[in-house]
Structures are given as structure tokens and as C-alpha cells.
């Protein structure tokens, strides 16, 4: 079977098989990061292509209710610890607007 070189739709560069971590916005309240996702990445611009079979698996996994996803006792303990910290200390960190302003001020 002849191997076909796939080209990037963004820049025309060559696509190569690799793995990457990819954040996906599932809905208004959920953001997940897929770790070690197999993709075809452009060697020139970095644009990623997810093959149909992989995308089908992602769709299936994300369609599962978060309540139906099992978590370990260690994960539950860590979530409880973080919730306790937040209730005791209040929210910490920066808002997106604060982070963006901080990053923009560094460029000057």
C-alpha cells in the first residue's frame, strides 16, 4: 500500500504522527485536557489534525456524564482537601482579565 503524505490545511506543511496534550472546552462549565493524544501535527506551523477514529473515541468519552465517571479514593480525598482549602482561604489566583493584563504588561 502506498503511503500518502498529508499536508497541513493551514500552511501546506508536512503532517507527522505524534502525541500531544490538548485542552478541550466541553461545555460552558467543563474544560478537560486530553493527555498524550495521538495527532498528526504540522512540522511547520504546529497545527494539529485529529484522525476520525480518535475523534470518535473522544466524543464517546466526553458524552459520558461526569457523575458516571468513577474516581479513586485518593482522587476524592484530594478534591475534598482542595474544597476545604478553598472554603477556609477563599478563592486564590488571578482572574483571566488579571492574568491577561499581567502578561500584556510584560511585553512592553
pLDDT tens by residue, 61-88: 878 766 666 778 998 899 899 889 888 9
Per-residue pLDDT, 108? 60
Assess whether 8 and 28 both reside in one domain: yes
Cα distances from 33 to residues 65, 88, 98, 99, in angstroms, run 16, 28, 23, 20
Assess whether 56 and 107 both reside in one domain: no
Contact 22, 39 (CB under 8 A): yes
For the chain, what is the domain count?
A: 2
d(CA 108, CA 7): 37
Assess whether 58 and 103 both reside in one domain: no
Per-residue pLDDT, 25? 83
Name the residue range of residue 103's domain. Answer: 70-108
d(CA 19, CA 102): 31
Assess whether 51 and 83 both reside in one domain: no
Find the mean pLDDT for residues 12-32: 86
pLDDT tens sequence across 45-57: 989 999 999 999 8
Assess whether 45 and 5 both reside in one domain: yes
Confidence grade of residue 38 (pLDDT, cut at 50, 70, 90): very high
Is the pLDDT assigned to residue 2 strictly greater than 50? no
Per-residue pLDDT, 37? 92
Amino acid at each position: 500500500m502506498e503511503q500518502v503524505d498529508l499536508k497541513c490545511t493551514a500552511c501546506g506543511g508536512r503532517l507527522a504522527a505524534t502525541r500531544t496534550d490538548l485542552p478541550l472546552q466541553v461545555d460552558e462549565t467543563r474544560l478537560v485536557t486530553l493527555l498524550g493524544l495521538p495527532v498528526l501535527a504540522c512540522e511547520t506551523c504546529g497545527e494539529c489534525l485529529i484522525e476520525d477514529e480518535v475523534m470518535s473515541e473522544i466524543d464517546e468519552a466526553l458524552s459520558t456524564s461526569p457523575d458516571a465517571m468513577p474516581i479513586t479514593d485518593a482522587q476524592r480525598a484530594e478534591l475534598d482537601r482542595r474544597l476545604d482549602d478553598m472554603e477556609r482561604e477563599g478563592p486564590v489566583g488571578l482572574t483571566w482579565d488579571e492574568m491577561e493584563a499581567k502578561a500584556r504588561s510584560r511585553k512592553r
